[in-house]
């Protein structure tokens, strides 16, 4: 074996080991690349647990095919399953997966250059929807803008921080801020809204706020989609929460 060939082989094997040490994004991407699986994952982004039969209807496939797809998703830790009696309920595995899905939606909808309006065609989904466990859409962006203008949150370069005035406000609003700040999850996190192309509020505070707004019946959930619908009094109270000019 000549020195040049030996050097080439040695370089190949060093490169090959470095490739093997990289995260296997190809296998994860392949799971999202199948249209039926993608539809099921998007259906689970509403935060609700769904059965294989319900997900098969969402994807337009047979229950048996849906079960095969779900087996791959659960084996890859993208989806988790919970058993209750004879029923099995599927959910997005965790927040990291939900964030990945939302970011993929943003990348898939990059059509600003074409002049096409971004995001879902359904006006209700554009106005307000659930993004895994927090508020998204026009209402989500307006909420973050309003809370920032009221100086309850600080937003800079996509990073959100809770101000001292915000701590007092949210405690009065019924949110256990101390528990949020002790949790492993970030209290405040920005999430780029894939329809509005602006940030909305995620993290522990975003989830706690949406839960509180639903409990107070400012919104009601659409039973078939991720859309959220304002109640009459809820719309008025939400505008006051966001403040003038938001």
DSSP 133-199: TEEEHHHHHHHHHHHHHTTSEEEETTEEEE-HHHHHHHHHTT--HHHHHHSSS-S-EEEE-TTTSSE
In this prediction, residue 24 has a pLDDT band, given cuts at 50, 70 and 90, of confident
Domain boundaries, the chain: 3-93, 96-242
Give residue 199's pLDDT.
87
The predicted-structure confidence for 125-167, as pLDDT tens digits, reads as follows: 889 999 888 999 999 999 999 999 999 999 887 789 999 999 9
Structure tokens at 47: 């935060």
pTM of this prediction exceeds 0.85 = no
Q: Is the pLDDT at 8 greater than 80, yes or no? A: no
How far is the C-alpha of 99 from the C-alpha of 83, rounded, in Å? Answer: 25
CB neighbours (10 Å) of residue 241? 19
Q: Is the pLDDT at 174 greater than 70, yes or no? A: yes
Contact assessment for residue 201 and residue 135, using Cβ atoms and an 8 Å cutoff: yes
CB neighbours (10 Å) of residue 154? 14
Instruction: From 211, 214, 217, 215, select the one nearest 231 (Cα to Cα).
Output: 217
Q: Which CATH architecture has domain 3-93?
A: Orthogonal Bundle (1.10)
Q: How many helices (H) and strands (E) does the chain have?
A: 12, 10
Mean pLDDT value across the chain: 84
For 208, residues 6+ apart whose C-beta sits below 8 A from its C-beta are 170, 175, 176, 180
Contact assessment for residue 241 and residue 235, using Cβ atoms and an 8 Å cutoff: no
In this prediction, residue 2 has a pLDDT band, given cuts at 50, 70 and 90, of low
Mean pLDDT of 88-111: 81
Give residue 65's pLDDT.
94
How far is the C-alpha of 229 from the C-alpha of 137, rounded, in Å? Answer: 12
- Which tops the pLDDT comparison, 22 or 159? 159
Q: According to the per-residue pLDDT averaged within each range, which of 32-41, 111-120, 127-136, 210-219 is highest? A: 210-219
Give residue 143's pLDDT.
96
Give residue 109's pLDDT.
64
Give residue 9's pLDDT.
42
Mean pLDDT of 171-199: 90
In Å, how far from its chain's centre is CA 14?
A: 38
DSSP SS3 for 200:
strand
């Amino acid at each position: 074996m000549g020195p040049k060939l030996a050097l080439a082989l040695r370089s190949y094997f060093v490169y090959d080991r470095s490739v093997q040490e990289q995260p296997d994004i190809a296998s994860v991407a392949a799971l999202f690349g199948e249209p039926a699986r993608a539809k099921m994952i998007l259906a689970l982004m509403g935060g609700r647990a769904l059965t294989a039969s319900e997900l098969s209807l969402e994807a337009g496939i047979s229950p048996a095919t849906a079960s095969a797809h779900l087996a791959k998703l659960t084996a890859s830790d993208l989806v988790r399953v919970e058993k209750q009696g004879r029923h099995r309920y599927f959910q997005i595995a965790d927040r990291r997966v939900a964030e990945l899905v939302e970011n993929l939606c943003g990348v898939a909808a990059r059509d600003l250059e074409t002049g096409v309006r971004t995001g879902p065609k359904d006006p209700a989904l554009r106005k307000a929807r659930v993004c895994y466990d927090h508020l998204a859409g026009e209402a989500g962006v307006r909420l973050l803008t309003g809370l920032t203008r009221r100086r309850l949150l600080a937003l800079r370069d996509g990073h959100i921080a809770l101000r001292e005035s915000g701590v007092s406000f949210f405690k009065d609003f019924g949110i256990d801020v101390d528990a949020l700040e002790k949790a492993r999850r970030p209290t405040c996190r920005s999430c780029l809204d894939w329809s509005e192309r602006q940030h909305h509020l995620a993290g522990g505070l975003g989830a706690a706020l949406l839960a509180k707004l639903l409990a107070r019946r400012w919104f009601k959930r659409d039973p078939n989609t991720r859309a959220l619908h304002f109640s009459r009094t809820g719309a008025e109270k939400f505008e006051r929460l966001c403040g003038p000019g938001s």
